[in-house]
Amino acid sequence: MEDIYDVIIAGCGPTGATFANYFGKHNLKVLLFDTAPDIIDYPRAVHIDEDVIRIFQELGLYEDMKKDAIKPFENYALVSKKDKVLFQFQPDSSVSEDIPDCNWILQPEIEKHLRNGFSLYPNVTFLKETTWTDLSQTKEELSLVLTDKENTVTRVKAKFLIACDGGKSPIRKRMGISVYDFGFKKEWFVIDTNYFGKQLFSEDHKQFCDPKQPITYVNGVNNHFRWEFMVSEQDSALSDELLADKMIPKLKALFPIEEFEIIRQKKYAFHTLLANSWRSGRVFLAGDAAHQMPPFLGQGMCSGIKDAKNLSWKIVRACLNPGEETEQLLDSYYTERAPQVRKIIRLAAILGGFIQYSNPILSPLRNGLLRIFNILPSKPIDALINKHLYGLDIDNFSRFKHSLVGKRLPQPIVWTKDDQLYFDELCGFNWVVLYRAESKIYPLELSGVLKFIPLVTGFPIYGNEIKSVLFTKWMAEQKADFVIIRPDKFIFNIGNEKEYDTIIQRTQSYLNKIYSN
């Protein structure tokens, strides 16, 4: 007899492991498998943003990660060859109280925490050193033939398969899904080190805009330091050892490299690729299998983890309540995520092109331009980041969509009757209506799916009300009396008391369709 699962996840990198945590928490029966015996042990991603921390937080992993695997940083600087500031920026687009925008991490450490997370769920089965040899699907189900390292063959079935099998994604190829290439391709040589000396080095994240040798500098978590060197076309054929022989002397001019222990040096090719479809029937692509980008914005892994947040609650709905409405909900994974990832890929390529600019005559012009940008206020950059990088195009079935629909809800620490906690923790994975208790808004009786949270301005708090100066101010700024929040904490609708009846009824009738079981 074949084992039958709700979901099978192929690949246990950060994307697959995040899905496993979400599904584990939601009680789905999950099979996760990976060809490798263990976590890829060399550092790849070094940066995560606030949104990803919010995901780790709701999965109950952040507090432990914070102890040994995450270090915030404040300053991003583009500097000249001689380390003179051309452009400096303190990212400030965080909408959570007490969670920084920019954070250094070590990918293997983060993956360890993610694996510890899903190992707590008895409904998640994880098979290492296992691959698939056959894949087929009908309208009703999906079948996979798995083979482990002893060549034992197992047949399994599931409602859905999520391919988190990395950039080469054998499943993407098997489904015949093509990829769009934005045309950016560049090789960089990455040196990872540990430092045990006593000197203090800059905490800024720096890009050395030297036209002859662009370099990235990271003073990361614990003792970790990383440098990335752009590889010229004539050096492209050199082995990693020969590239190291060329790059280390360049590093010596900037740092006492003999005091650092080199843990890895490796050349990477950075691409800009986007799969033309992220779904084929019961199969979904996520993470690097769906998109690849150069690391100049530190968003590759972040994007995979955000895919998991967007798709997992929709898969849960579709498993519990199959039908036309949940089919459309599943399709919204691509229409919401792909445009956002496309923007990030383009921006990463533009930033990369700027940093890599190597024309010796025109690069002083680039540096001059950066110095001009540097005296402009940084707020517009944050506003642009918030608007374009963090917004989703959500269909909320309204003819006139409020500009905040699809934006992230701020996350203050709120007061309750007995506690102080992050608002996300109070929401859980529910659809939430946060409303001003002083307005003429009344919760729907027996609404079932919607969780109503009244916002009050004074003490004492008697029931399920919350108090938050930040939310009170935010609601006033938006001239809003209520906001409806999806399980992934994006704004589904927002309005004033006059609009409440129409909006809440429309929302309730939509939820009735996707939650009828």
Binding site for ligand FAD (CB under 6 A): 10-16, 33-36, 44-47, 107, 131, 164-166, 170, 190, 268, 287-288, 295, 298-302, 304
CA distance 262 to 245: 13
Amino acid 258 reads: E
Q: By C-beta, is 298 or 410 nearer to ligand FAD?
A: 298
Smaller CB distance to ligand FAD: residue 89 or 268? 268
Q: Which is closer to ligand FAD, CB of 164 or CB of 514? A: 164
Torsion region of 76: left, alpha or beta (phi above 0 gives left; psi -120 to 50 gives alpha): beta
Residue 61 Cβ vs ligand FAD, minimum distance, rounded to whole Å: 16
Q: What Å distances lie between residue 390 and 299, 341, 431, CA to CA?
A: 12, 10, 20
Classified as helix, coil or strand, 221 is coil
Q: Which residue has the tokens 């007061």?
A: 415
Smallest gap from Cβ 170 to ligand FAD, in A, equals 4
When the beta carbons of 304 and 454 are compared against ligand FAD, the nearer one is: 304
Least CB distance to ligand FAD at residue 228 (A): 7
Tell me if 423 sits within 8 A of 411, measured CB to CB.
yes
Which residue, 34 or 424, has its beta carbon nearer to ligand FAD?
34
Q: Looking at beta carbons only, is 240 or 438 nearer to ligand FAD?
A: 240
Q: How far is the CB of 167 from ligand FAD (least distance, A)?
A: 6
Between CA 496 and CA 503, with CA 500 as vertex, the angle to 5 degrees is: 115
In the complex, minimum distance from the CB of residue 40 to ligand FAD, in angstroms, rounded to a whole number: 6
Q: Return the bridge partners of 30, or none.
A: 7, 124
Cα–Cα distance measured from residue 172 to residue 408, given in angstroms and rounded to the nearest whole number: 30
Specify which residues 406 forms β-bridges with: none
19 vs 431, beta carbon nearer ligand FAD? 19
Residue 319 burial (CB count, 10 A): 21
Which residue number, 11 or 406, has a Cβ lying nearer to ligand FAD? 11
Residue 406 CB, nearest distance to ligand FAD (Å)? 22
Q: Kind and range of the H or E element at 344?
A: helix 324-356
Helix (H, G, I), strand (E, B) or coil at 26: coil
By C-beta, is 28 or 289 nearer to ligand FAD? 289
> Which tokens hold the place of 368?
């001059």
Burial class (CB in 10 A: 0-12, 13-18, 19+), 241: exposed
Shortest spacing between CB 56 and ligand FAD, in angstroms: 13
Token digits for 8? Answer: 């099978």
Distance (Å, whole) CA 232 – CA 84? 24
In the complex, least distance from residue 239 CB atom to ligand FAD, rounded to whole angstroms: 18
Dist CA 129 CA 365 (whole Å): 52
CB 124 within 8 A of CB 23: yes
Q: How far apart are CA 388 and CA 182, in angstroms?
A: 19
Shortest approach of ligand FAD to residue 407 CB, angstroms?
21
- The least CB distance from residue 334 to ligand FAD, in Å, is 16
Nearer to ligand FAD, 286 or 392 (CB): 286
380 to 108, 342, 504: CA distances (angstroms): 35, 21, 34
Q: Are strands 130-137 and 420-422 parallel, antiparallel or unpaired?
A: unpaired
Least distance from ligand FAD to the Cβ atom of residue 343, Å: 15
Residue 18 or residue 396: which is nearer to ligand FAD going by CB? 18
- Nearest distance in Å: CB 483, ligand FAD: 29
H or E element that contains 159 = strand 153-163
Q: What residues contact 343, with CB distance under 8 A and at least 6 apart?
A: 388, 389
Nearer to ligand FAD, 286 or 433 (CB): 286
Report the candidate in 254, 192, 200, 217 with the shortest Cα–Cα distance to residue 78: 217
